[in-house]
Amino acid sequence: MTVSGRSWTAPLAINPIMAGTAGDRVRFLRASRDIEYVKQHGRRLSTACFNLLVCRTGTGSSRVGIVVGKRFGIAVSRNRAKRLFRELTRQVRGELTSGHALLVFPKRDALTLPFEELKSLWRAALRRQGVLNSGEV
């Protein structure tokens, strides 16, 4: 393609800082009706660092919702908990089985654990609920 007499091609490289975050919005539950459906129909699993509700939806890829109420603490703590669990979700997104909706209620103890321990606890909980394809840690 030529623009103003010069040859021009679209850039092929994706900004590495933004890679992996552009299409993430479809992987998360946002609508309150979806969250309420999971609350009513989901199976509950409680751990020391979070409660997890899993509901079979049968549609498309699995999606995760993160619910942190004001009772959790100040906004900085709530936002940190949401960021942690968003990152945990991104790290297992290729291994989640299709057709599930997951709802996570972080507990304050999640902020005190090292990330690797929280990650192993997260993967173990997903495996226990049968929504993780891989058997490795």
Write out pLDDT tens, residues 104-133. Answer: 999 999 999 999 999 999 999 999 999 998
Query: What are the angstrom distances between the C-alpha of 67 and each of 14, 30, 71?
Result: 31, 10, 11
CATH code of the domain containing 33 = 3.30.230.10
Q: Model pTM?
A: 0.77
Contacts of 132 (CB under 8 A, 6+ apart): 92, 95, 96, 97, 123, 126
Instruction: Let me know if residue 31 belongs to a domain.
Output: yes
Residue 6 has pLDDT above 90, yes or no: no
Instruction: Let me know if residue 17 belongs to a domain.
Output: no
Q: Which of 2-6, 65-69, 93-97 has the lowest mean pLDDT?
A: 2-6
Q: What's CA 84's distance to the chain center, in Å?
A: 9
Instruction: Let me know if residue 22 belongs to a domain.
Output: no
In which domain, by residue range, is 100 found?
27-118
- What pLDDT, in 10s, does the model give residues 12-68? 333 333 345 556 666 788 888 989 999 999 999 999 999 999 999 888 888 999 999
How many structural domains is the chain composed of? 1
Instruction: Let me know if residue 133 belongs to a domain.
Output: no
Instruction: Let me know if residue 10 belongs to a domain.
Output: no
Instruction: Let me know if residue 60 belongs to a domain.
Output: yes
65 DSSP 8-state letter = E
